[in-house]
């Protein structure tokens, strides 16, 4: 079967150039917002599958991939959330599903609180629950920076395997090709924001059907965090993918799609 990728394009929204990939083109709109160092193209294998039922868009978050980056750009959570809202407005996406992974899940929560007019539902995939007075995000900033600096010099698949030992050859090759497009200032700001932004305070203001997907081996969302999300967001659907680490679709693609289907099948069945 051929690819469901229709095209890549740029749109000016929220005052910056935003790059995205579009897959499928039919059905209810679905927007994937990736994690801290994941350009849009690295989520292509997920988008291909979702494009069977949804008009699927994958966003290059500012400072990643082919979207705008600069020394003076605001890389904070509010700016990234405003980008998503402006992107949806520019493309006239209405009632769209937002599937956010890690950083993207935190962006989605902030979108839902402040820019929820066009949002139809929110899937939060293993969001960092760190914040003021909370335990730190388990990943180390140096892990990101070391791999990015090697990528800017030129990194081989085998060198990338040191950072992502469980990934397939294809996954490693794609990351080695695209990681250099991640702006270090964006990654540092986002990582700091994981510990400075109180995302839990946004949860009571989320008014759309919502899913929390938890990686069983990720160490990011603990049972007590899941309980807190459920308390702050009544009606929240929770799904655990037991054998996956934080990069859930990379570790257990079938489990990821099964968990997502249990949510999207209920809330986005109608095109």
pLDDT in tens, 119-159: 999 999 999 999 999 999 999 999 999 999 999 999 999 99
Supply the pLDDT for residue 271: 31
Statement: residue 25 has pLDDT above 70 = yes
Residue 27 region by backbone torsions, left for phi larger than 0, else alpha for psi between -120 and 50, else beta = left
Helices vs. strands in the chain: H and E counts, helices first: 10, 8
228 found inside a domain: yes
Average pLDDT over residues 28-41: 98
The stretch 38-50 carries a mean pLDDT of 97
Q: Is 47 helix (H, G, I), strand (E, B) or coil?
A: helix
Q: For residue 233, what pLDDT is reported?
A: 97
Answer whether residue 267 shows pLDDT above 80. no
177: burial class by Cβ within 10 Å (0-12, 13-18, 19+)?
Answer: middle
Degrees to nearest 5, angle at CA 261 with 256 and 262: 105
- Is pLDDT of 237 > 80? yes
What CATH number did the domain enclosing 259 receive?
Answer: 3.40.50.1820
Is 94 contained in some domain? yes
Instruction: Assess whether pLDDT exceeds 50 at residue 266.
Output: no
Note the pLDDT tens digit of each residue in 192-201: 999 999 999 9
Whether 22 is covered by a domain: the verdict is yes
The mean per-residue pLDDT over the stretch 215-228 comes to 95
State the pLDDT at residue 218.
Answer: 87
- Residue 120 has a CB neighbour count (10 Å cut-off) of 18
- Report d(CA 35, CA 247) in Å as an integer: 9
Q: Within a domain: residue 191?
A: no
**pLDDT of residue 3 exceeding 50:** yes
Residue 80 CA to residue 194 CA, distance in Å, equals 13
How sure is the predictor about 270, in pLDDT bands with cuts at 50, 70 and 90?
very low
Q: Which residue has the tokens 């929390």?
A: 212
Q: Angle at which helices 103-114 and 184-196 pack, to 10 degrees?
A: 70
Structure tokens at 157: 């698949």
* 100-126 pLDDT per residue, tens: 999 999 999 999 999 999 999 999 999
Do the domain assignments include residue 102? yes
172: left (phi over 0), alpha (psi -120 to 50) or beta: alpha
Residue 154 inside a domain? The answer is: no
- The arithmetic mean of pLDDT across residues 180-188, rounded, is 98
Q: Could you tell me the residue range of the domain that residue 211 belongs to?
A: 5-137+198-267
pLDDT band at 1 (very low <50, low <70, confident <90, very high): low
Which comes out higher in pLDDT, residue 132 or 269? 132
65, 39 contact by CB (below 8 A): yes
Does residue 178 lie in a domain region?
A: no
pTM: 0.96
Taking all residues of the chain, what is their mean pLDDT, rounded to a whole number?
A: 95
Q: Exposed, middle or buried: residue 185 (CB in 10 Å: 0-12, 13-18, 19+)?
A: middle
* Per-residue buried b or exposed e for 246-256, using 16+ beta carbons within 10 Å of the residue's own CB: bbbbbbbeebb
The helix/strand/coil state of 268 is coil
pLDDT digit string, tens, across residues 62-82? 999 999 999 999 999 999 999
User: Could you tell me if residue 232 is inside a domain?
Assistant: yes
Contacts of 39 (CB under 8 A, 6+ apart): 60, 64, 65, 66, 178, 179, 181, 182
pLDDT score at 265: 82
Give the whole-angstrom CA distance, residue 33 versus residue 98: 7
Rg (CA), the chain: 17
How many domains does the chain contain in total?
1
The CA distance from 6 to 21, in Å, is 8
């Amino acid at each position: 079967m051929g690819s469901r990728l229709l095209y890549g394009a740029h749109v000016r929204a929220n005052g910056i150039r935003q790059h995205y990939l579009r897959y499928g083109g039919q059905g209810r709109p679905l927007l994937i917002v990736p994690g801290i160092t994941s350009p849009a193209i690295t989520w292509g294998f997920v988008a291909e599958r979702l494009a069977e039922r949804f008009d699927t868009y994958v966003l290059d978050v500012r400072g990643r991939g082919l979207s705008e980056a600069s020394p003076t750009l605001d890389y904070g959570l509010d700016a990234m959330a405003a980008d998503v809202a402006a992107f949806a407005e520019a493309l006239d996406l209405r009632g769209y599903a937002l599937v956010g992974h890690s950083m993207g899940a935190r962006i989605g929560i902030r979108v839902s609180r402040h820019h929820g007019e066009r949002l139809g539902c929110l899937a939060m995939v293993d969001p960092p629950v760190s914040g003021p007075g909370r335990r730190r995000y388990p990943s180390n900033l140096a892990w990101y920076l070391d791999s990015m600096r090697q990528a800017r010099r030129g990194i081989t698949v085998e060198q990338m395997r040191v950072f992502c030992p469980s990934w397939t050859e294809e996954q490693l090759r794609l990351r080695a090709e695209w990681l250099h497009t991640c702006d270090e200032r964006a990654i540092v700001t986002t990582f700091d924001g994981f510990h400075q932004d109180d995302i839990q305070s946004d949860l009571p203001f989320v008014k759309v059907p919502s899913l929390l997907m938890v990686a069983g081996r990720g160490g990011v969302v603990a049972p007590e965090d899941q309980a807190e999300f459920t308390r702050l967001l009544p009606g929240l659907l929770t799904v655990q993918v037991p054998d996956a680490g934080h990069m859930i679709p990379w570790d257990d693609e079938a489990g990821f799609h099964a968990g997502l289907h249990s949510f999207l099948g209920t809330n986005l069945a109608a095109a």
